[in-house]
Each structure stands twice: as structure tokens, then as C-alpha cells.
Amino acid sequence: MREEIRKSEKLNIISDLAASIAHEVRNPLTVVRGFIQLAQSTMDEDNRRYMRTAISELDRAEFIISDYLNFAKPELEHLERVNIAVEVRNIVTFMTSYATMQAVELTLDVEDTLYVFVDKVKFKQVIINLVKNSVEAIRQGGRIEVRAHRNGDCVQVTVIDNGEGMTAEQVERLGKPFYSTKEKGTGLGLMVTFRIVEAMSGTLTFESEKGRGTQATITVPFATKKDNFKRRNHDAGDESSH
Ligand code: ADP
Ligand code: MG
């Protein structure tokens, strides 16, 4: 237990540090990108090509920094009672062209009413992270199915892919900071994802088989109208209501 506390304190320090570094580094990157774009207009085609590469590498740096920033601030700030059926549908629609570009078929199986207490933006990030990992685990054409259903007092969202899968040892390492098997991976996506799901009072579990595919399951409590009422009164500091 003590060891765990120490670990989470350490993570908090890393989070704060990451947030300030990310913020400081982002500004000069934006300036450099701007000047490169300006300079491009005076260059011949060869040099322009070099500059395009430079810009795309700058964009990659920006992408890594975004992951850090999210890692730095994973706590939920705007919890509200949301029908995530609508959110899941929107996210999957929004990601379909990305999947299609990678020759991946993305399908959806969602119930109509799935109320949960979430921060919409963070929830969106969770689904994007999971679907993105699934797309990246599929090398040559494949399928991903996103399911969302009520299961008793809970709502379950499942992302299933027929990608490269993982060994039990790899599954064990998921969510550890900087664990990545990808050349351009940050190894922060799932760490952030686990922390967001935890803040939603939920769990995230993985089942996987090497060579066959992976199933990621988010389980979060269903939020009834009554829960919403209780929570609101609680937030307003009114302890007398039932
Ligand atoms: P990143 O995507 O930057 O590598 P993540 O934290 O998102 O970092 O994922 C960590 C690692 O977990 C990945 O590099 C990959 O090895 C493994 N992984 C995650 N999701 C899947 C999946 N659906 N199928 C196979 N491997 C996965
Ligand atoms: Mg990832």
C-alpha cells in the first residue's frame, strides 16, 4: 500500500513536470513551423520537399506533446450525465474515414440509451485511443467492432479487433508509462486511458491472443436519473436531500 502511494506521488510529480515542459516546448515549435512555411515560398522544389519533411516531423513532435499534456491532466473536469450511445456513434462515424484509409472496416453495435457520468471530451479520447490502437494493430485489412450495451447496473463498451494481438506478458504491461512496441509510439495512450476510466469509476480490461486479435472492455456504472439528482444536490452542498 505504502509503495502504491509513493508510486502515485511520483506520477503526480511527473505529471506536473510534463505539463510545464509540454507547454514551454509547444510555443517555439509553433514559431519554427510558421517560419518554415514562410521560407518555403522562396525556395525551389527540392528545398521545399525538405521543408515539407521538416514540417511533418514538427507535427509529430506536436502530437507527442499533446499526449503528454493529456497525460498531465487526466482528471475529469466536467462530469455530467451523458447518453454515451450518442457519443460512441459520433466518434465511430468520425473515425470511419481514418479506418477506411488503413483498409479497416469499422462496425458499430450500440444500444439506444446508455447513461453514464462522464467528461464528454475525456470519454471521446478513451474511445479514440482504443480504436486507434486497434487500427494500428491491423497491418493488412481487418475489422474492428465497437459495441456498447447495458449489462445490469453497468454499461459496457467493447472494442474488438482482429489485429496482431498480444501475449499475456504484453497485456500485463499495458498502461505502463512509455510502454510501446511501435516505432513512432509514445506509450502514453493507454496510460491516459486507464486513468480516465478509473476517474469515471470504471474498469478497463483486455483480452488478447497473439495472432488473433484483441478485445478491450470498458465497464462503467449506469447513471440513473435519481443518481443524477443525488449528485447535483451533493455538488451543490445540500446534504439533506435523499
Ligand atoms: P502507443 O500506441 O503509443 O504504442 P499505447 O499506450 O496506446 O501506446 O499502447 C501501448 C502498446 O500496447 C502498443 O505499443 C501495443 O504494443 C499494445 N497494444 C495496445 N492496443 C493494442 C491492440 N488493440 N492490439 C495489439 N496491441 C495493442
Ligand atoms: Mg496508442
For 20-46, the pLDDT digits (tens) are 777 788 889 999 999 999 999 999 999
Provide the mean pLDDT of the chain.
86
- Looking at the predicted structure, is the pLDDT value of residue 219 above 90? yes
The residue whose CB lies within 8 Å of the most ligand 1 atoms, and thus the one to mutate among 102, 190, 205, 209, is 190
The candidate with the shortest Cα–Cα distance to 157, out of 118, 211, 186, 191, is 118
pLDDT for the residue 71: 60
- The answer to whether 72 and 16 are in contact (CB under 8 A) is yes
pTM (global) more than 0.95:
no
Largest Cα span, the chain: 73
- List all residues 6 or more positions away from 114 whose beta carbon is below 8 Å from its beta carbon: 83, 84, 85, 88, 148, 149, 150, 155, 222
Say how many Å lie between the CA of residue 187 and the centre of ligand 2. 7
How much is the pLDDT for 107?
97
Lowest mean pLDDT among 86-90, 100-104, 155-159: 100-104
Question: At 60, is the pLDDT very low, low, confident or very high (cuts 50, 70, 90)?
Answer: confident
Residue with cell 493488412: 140
Alpha carbons 213 and 165: distance in angstroms, whole number: 4
Q: Report the candidate in 193, 75, 177, 77 with the shortest Cα–Cα distance to residue 133.
A: 193
- What ipTM describes this predicted complex? 0.99
Most confident of 55-59, 150-154, 193-197: 150-154
Confidence of residue 242 (pLDDT cuts 50, 70, 90): very low
Question: What is the helix, strand, coil percentage profile of the chain, to 5?
Answer: 55, 20, 25
Residue 13 CA to ligand 2 centre (angstroms): 23
Q: Which ligand is nearest to the CA of 71?
A: 1
Q: Ligand 2 centre from 190 Cα, in Å?
A: 6
Burial bucket for residue 98 (CB in 10 Å: 0-12, 13-18, 19+): middle
